[in-house]
Amino acid sequence: MSNLHPDLLQRLHAAVGDAGLVSDSEAKAPYETDWLKKWTGRSSIVVRPADTAQTAAVMRICHETHTPVVTQGGNTGMSGGATPDSSGAQVVLSTVRMNAIRAVDPLNNTLTCEAGVLLANIQAAAQAAERFFPLSLGAEGSCTIGGNLATNAGGIAVLRYGNTRELALGLEVVLPDGRVWNGLRALRKDNTGYDLRDLFIGSEGTLGVITAAVLKLHPRPVARATAWVGARDIDALVGLLAQLRATCGERLVAFEMMSAESLALILAHVSDVRAPLAGEHAFHALIELADTQDDGLAALLEGGLGDALEQDVVQDVAVSVSGAQTQAFWKIREGISQAQMRAGKAVKHDIALPISAIAAFAHEAEAALRVAQPDVRIINFGHLGDGNLHYNVLLPLDTTPEVLAATTAQFNRIVHDIVAAANGSISAEHGVGQLRRDELRHYKSEVEFDLMMRIKQSLDPNQIMNPGKLI
């Protein structure tokens, strides 16, 4: 702890007590490595405030002592945003102890909670009140709502309900200097000036610490119909998506896509999963409809997919006939991150494009990558319904850090240039973090970057919030 300001430890201890400090190296270790095991840093100390007042006290101290702070929720992020650097000078501020659901208001359809509440616990609290909180992602048992807000997480139901941003009404934020902004308003309309809430959503811990939020609840769907389909190419799936949107409207909740190579990877590396269709197909989709009443939802899906089969848009369809089969389909989809970790080192691209540009992108990117490396292993999957592809490239497990860095730089340029030319985004849902920080600088216009820098400078003049990330 040699880099610590002389009286920092004593002041932090006074602010959060014994239960709020982790200083032992072994106990700190889990906070210093990310879920992917891609980044490892070294913190000076881990601080775990119990509430907003303690968070404010910690931030005041860090502001006064110019101590850098890395906020961490569930540590499931995929861009290295919550990992401290290797200097040993950064404090990790963990929100794990701020885990209270403060209120559920079924009449207003809102839930107010602290930032460290696990996403799965919010879903359960909504369900207990006969309501529905639609944010859903593979890490929902470990990620926190604070992390979801800070990354503006997407997941599998964006098509119907939007990103985390669309699910938040109000925020409470501790600013870098320790002041508390109480924006915990449970309003659907509030045009009282600049939208500070939306500034903090997606700011990845670089502008302040989100300590609490008011979330929107939705009516609870009671009917669900799920299917797995196989198609010849991604173009066909884009066509099917348009057809199902037209016929199913708001009832189409999820349209997830994966290539044959992605499916093969999951089948090889995840236990207790089976191929959902008998034949071979170049592309697969997992499709789900849901509604608050069951007025023939399964028939609607079967009808739509039957038409697609007849028109030869898709070549095979399995409509789930039981809860167990539905779960089995989703287990395949949710195994993809684990499978990639087990099989190799992934160069991850988290891109968004207009859905109409997806097929052309996939063809162009594959051709360009194959010119660079003929046997390249493309793991193309993602949230096709939102135009969000995880267009990853898998390298062997024994790839050295030097080769990984060089290949990442080369493949980033190829993939991101094609994305930029189509007016897409190089950072769709996982956040920029440290993974895409330099890429962001490369692709943001001078004007956009300048505006971001001015915002950062005015909120965090001492540059203590998550240095080295995002900006």
Residues of the shown chain interacting with ligand FAD in the complex, contacts defined by CB under 6 A: 35, 70-78, 81-82, 95, 115, 137-139, 143-144, 146-148, 150-151, 153-155, 204-205, 209-210, 337, 429-431, 433, 466, 469
Q: How far is the CB of 273 from ligand FAD (least distance, A)?
A: 15
Q: How far is CA 70 from the centre of its chain?
A: 18
- Partner from ligand FAD, ligand 2HG, none binding residue 12, C-beta < 5-8 Å depending on class: none
- The string over 99-124, giving b where at least 16 C-beta atoms fall within 10 Å of a residue's C-beta and e elsewhere, is bebeebeeebbbbbbbbbbbbebbbe
- Partner from ligand FAD, ligand 2HG, none binding residue 390, C-beta < 5-8 Å depending on class: ligand 2HG
Q: Which is nearer to ligand FAD, 369 or 470 (CB)?
A: 470
C-alpha distance from residue 54 to each of 16, 174, 180, 372 (Å): 6, 10, 11, 52
Q: Which is nearer to ligand FAD, 110 or 466 (CB)?
A: 466
Which one, of 43, 46, 47, 48, lies nearest residue 85 by Cα? 43
Minimal CB distance residue for ligand FAD: 147
The residue assigned the tokens 């965090």 is 460
Of the ranges 201-209, 308-316, 332-340, 359-367, which one interacts with ligand 2HG (CB under 6 A)? 332-340
HSE at residue 440, side-chain half, CA atoms within 13 A, is: 20
- Partner from ligand FAD, ligand 2HG, none binding residue 408, C-beta < 5-8 Å depending on class: none
Report the distance separating Cα 217 and Cα 127, nearest Å: 10
Q: Which is nearer to ligand FAD, 28 or 413 (CB)?
A: 28
Report the distance separating Cα 297 and Cα 317, nearest Å: 16
Which one, of 263, 434, 436, lies nearest residue 343 by Cα? 263
Residues 444 to 463 in contact with ligand 2HG, rule: CB under 6 A: none
Give the dihedral of Cα atoms 255, 260, 265, 268; nearest 10 deg. 110
* Tokens (6 digits) for 76: 């499931």
Q: Which is nearer to ligand 2HG, 22 or 153 (CB)?
A: 153
Query: Taking CB under 6 A as the rule, does residue 160 contact ligand 2HG?
Result: no
Report the distance separating Cα 115 and Cα 386, nearest Å: 26
Amino acid present at 25: S
Amino acid present at 131: R
Choose, by CB under 6 A, the member of 88, 138, 162, 178 that binds ligand 2HG: 138
Choose, by CB under 6 A, the member of 110, 148, 151, 337 that binds ligand 2HG: 337
Taking residues 171 to 190 in sequence order and writing x for each that binds ligand 2HG by CB under 6 A, - otherwise, the string is --------------------
In 3-state terms the chain splits into helix, strand, coil percentages (rounded to 5) of: 40, 25, 40
Q: Which is nearer to ligand FAD, 108 or 463 (CB)?
A: 463
Q: How far is the CB of 235 from ligand FAD (least distance, A)?
A: 24
Report the distance separating Cα 447 and Cα 450, nearest Å: 5
Choose, by CB under 6 A, the member of 38, 60, 160, 348 that binds ligand 2HG: 348
Query: Taking CB under 6 A as the rule, does residue 63 contact ligand 2HG?
Result: no
Q: Which is nearer to ligand FAD, 297 or 383 (CB)?
A: 383
Q: Which is nearer to ligand 2HG, 67 or 262 (CB)?
A: 262
Which residues lie closer than 8 Å to 54 by C-beta, 6 or more apart?
Answer: 15, 16, 20
- Partner from ligand FAD, ligand 2HG, none binding residue 150, C-beta < 5-8 Å depending on class: ligand FAD
- Partner from ligand 2HG, ligand FAD, none binding residue 204, C-beta < 5-8 Å depending on class: ligand FAD
The DSSP code for 355 is G
Q: Which is nearer to ligand FAD, 74 or 304 (CB)?
A: 74
Residues 387 to 446 in contact with ligand 2HG, rule: CB under 6 A: 390, 392
- Partner from ligand FAD, ligand 2HG, none binding residue 47, C-beta < 5-8 Å depending on class: none
C-alpha distance from residue 353 to each of 81, 406, 455 (Å): 23, 26, 27
Q: Which is nearer to ligand 2HG, 36 or 470 (CB)?
A: 36
- Partner from ligand FAD, ligand 2HG, none binding residue 348, C-beta < 5-8 Å depending on class: ligand 2HG
Q: How far is the CB of 12 from ligand 2HG (least distance, A)?
A: 34
Which one, of 287, 281, 168, 171, lies nearest residue 226 by Cα? 287
- Partner from ligand 2HG, ligand FAD, none binding residue 125, C-beta < 5-8 Å depending on class: none
Query: Taking CB under 6 A as the rule, does residue 336 contact ligand 2HG?
Result: yes
Which residues lie closer than 8 Å to 4 by C-beta, 6 or more apart?
Answer: 44, 45, 67, 89
Whether 94 contacts 115, CB under 8 Å: no
Applying CB under 6 A, the site for ligand 2HG has a residue count of: 8
Residues of this chain that bind ligand 2HG (CB under 6 A): 138, 336-337, 340, 348, 382, 390, 392
